[in-house]
Amino acid sequence: MASSQHARTHTGGFQESIAYPVLWPLRYAVVWALLLFILALIAMSLDLLFAKQVWPVGTALAHMEALLHQSASISPNSELTDAFAEGVYWLFFGLTGIHDQVLTFRDSGVIRPLGGANLLVAMREELAVAMLAAKLFGVRLATAVTAVPLFLLAYAAFTIDGLAERLIRKACGGRESATIYHLAKHSHFALLPVLLAIYLCTPVHFDPLWIVLPAVAVSGYLLRLQAKYFKKHV
């Protein structure tokens, strides 16, 4: 009985060890996709809030168009920017059929049957703001993606430096600290989503370098601490 349980446990552990390297990229891809979807909804909600409560009446579309133009003009890759902008727009308005409904109403003044179709007429300005907000989110997301090579380069440099510090610490009998390692690890994983959310969701124009450069420096330093205090043999 005990041997059969041990065999099942051993088999399950073996299967898990084989599946994990294959499935973990999919797992993180799903998590990041959900995070970006939620951030897109938050961004559109904040844009609508600013349109109603912050910006002067009747200027919401002008503000959104200015934000979109300013963000697109500083993007280092115009083709990627256009692709991301159209992709996010299609996800929220093309896939749902709202874009076609708006075109039909604009050309003929008639809305084909669709659940909540009357809202397209009653909330035309809000809908236009949301459409521009979706494109703005795509533009900023494309800008963030172009910063990935910079992060990878910084990560490589900080990791090498941290591992060198680890070897020196081990050779000199320095103290180990699992607390510092785990604190740096959790802070690192929390930092990037927060900074990404600030950049993607804030309906105010600012240079993305204000976010990218501090994020690279801080996250790189945290990764250095992780490498320095990593206790397992590498």
pLDDT in tens, 52-95: 999 998 899 999 999 999 999 998 899 999 999 999 999 999 99
Residues 66 and 111 in one domain: yes
3-state secondary structure of 205: coil
The pLDDT of residue 158: 87
Please indicate, yes or no, if residue 16 is contained in any of the structural domains.
no
pLDDT tens per residue, range 115-138: 455 566 667 788 899 999 999 999
pTM of the model: 0.80
Examine the fold and report which residue of 146, 162, 188 is the final residue of a domain before the chain moves on: 146
What CA–CA distance (Å, rounded) separates 85 from 134?
7
**CA dist 116 to 59, 98, 121, 124, Å?**
26, 10, 10, 13
* Residues of the chain below pLDDT 70: 1-24, 105-122, 173-177, 231-234
Examine the fold and report which residue of 146, 165, 196 is the final residue of a domain before the chain moves on: 146
Residues 29 and 120 in one domain: yes
The pLDDT of residue 34: 93
- Tell me the two tokens of residue 151: 């992060």
Please indicate, yes or no, if residue 14 is contained in any of the structural domains.
no
Of the candidates 185, 149, 201, 146, the residue with the CA atom closest to the CA atom of residue 36:
201
Residues 122 and 219 in one domain: no
| CB contact at 8 A, 130 and 44 | yes
Residues 55 and 68 in one domain: yes
Residues 29 and 95 in one domain: yes
The pLDDT of residue 87: 96
Please indicate, yes or no, if residue 106 is contained in any of the structural domains.
yes
| CB contact at 8 A, 79 and 130 | no
What CA–CA distance (Å, rounded) separates 171 from 77?
46
Residues 154 and 121 in one domain: no
Please indicate, yes or no, if residue 113 is contained in any of the structural domains.
yes
Residues 60 and 47 in one domain: yes
Residues 140 and 160 in one domain: no
Please indicate, yes or no, if residue 8 is contained in any of the structural domains.
no
Examine the fold and report which residue of 146, 172, 191 is the final residue of a domain before the chain moves on: 146
| CB contact at 8 A, 145 and 88 | no
Residues 103 and 188 in one domain: no
Residues 180 and 137 in one domain: no
Q: Which domain holds residue 140?
A: 23-146
The pLDDT of residue 32: 87
What CA–CA distance (Å, rounded) separates 230 from 68?
43
Q: What phi and psi values does residue 58 have, to the nearest 5 degrees? A: 85, 0
What CA–CA distance (Å, rounded) separates 230 from 234?
9
Please indicate, yes or no, if residue 134 is contained in any of the structural domains.
yes
The answer to whether the Cα torsion of 45, 46, 47, 48 is positive or negative is: positive
Domain count, the chain: 2
Say which residue the tokens 């996709």 belong to. Answer: 33
Please indicate, yes or no, if residue 173 is contained in any of the structural domains.
yes
- Measured between its terminal Cα atoms, the distance across the chain in Å is 38
Residues 129 and 154 in one domain: no
Residues 108 and 174 in one domain: no
Please indicate, yes or no, if residue 12 is contained in any of the structural domains.
no
205: left (phi over 0), alpha (psi -120 to 50) or beta: beta
- DSSP class of residue 97 equals S
- DSSP class of residue 80 equals H
